[in-house]
Amino acid sequence: MTETDCVFCDIVAGEADALVVDERDGGDGRPGTLAFAPLYPVAPGHVLVIPKAHHESLFDVPEEALGAVMAHVRSLARRMRGEDPDGRGFDGVNVLNDSTAYQSVPHLHVHLVERHEDDPDLLPGADSEVSKRDAYDAVSAALDDDRARG
């Protein structure tokens, strides 16, 4: 797949719609990252984090870009969880790589999913009644709370 065939690259370029919750430009030669609500979220608080540059998987991403993605994931997770260690019950992150692991878009991405201990199996493609807007609203509200705390 080429970058021109990649929907995530189209989102980064502003050529496809997405509900973006957070963005890091990188700057000074550092890789940029983008966080947005998935098309089919499995839970409120489900967000995807991607490198802005096209890398298909863990096997071809430069370490610096992978580090930028994971730093963004950790920052979002902490902000979504809030100051209280028990916060919103955020317990899990899914990292998907290649189609055998439910990666439907061949552009490296991390699914950050707010989880609770009694949740059912939550995998991309599973039946869910959560809308993309629900996922966006849940993450945006948590990030707004974090920004308000300052």
Output the CA torsion sign for 90, 129, 52, 24: negative
Pick the closest to residue 40 from 32, 49, 48, 52 (CA basis): 48
Q: Which candidate in 54, 55, 72, 109 is catalytic?
A: 109
Largest CA distance in the chain: 43
- Whether residue 107 lies in the annotated active site: no
Using DSSP's 3-state secondary structure scheme, residue 141 falls into helix
Pick the closest to residue 44 from 111, 138, 118 (CA basis): 138
Strand partners, 94: 111
Pick the closest to residue 58 from 5, 108, 114 (CA basis): 108
Please give the positions annotated as active site. Answer: 109
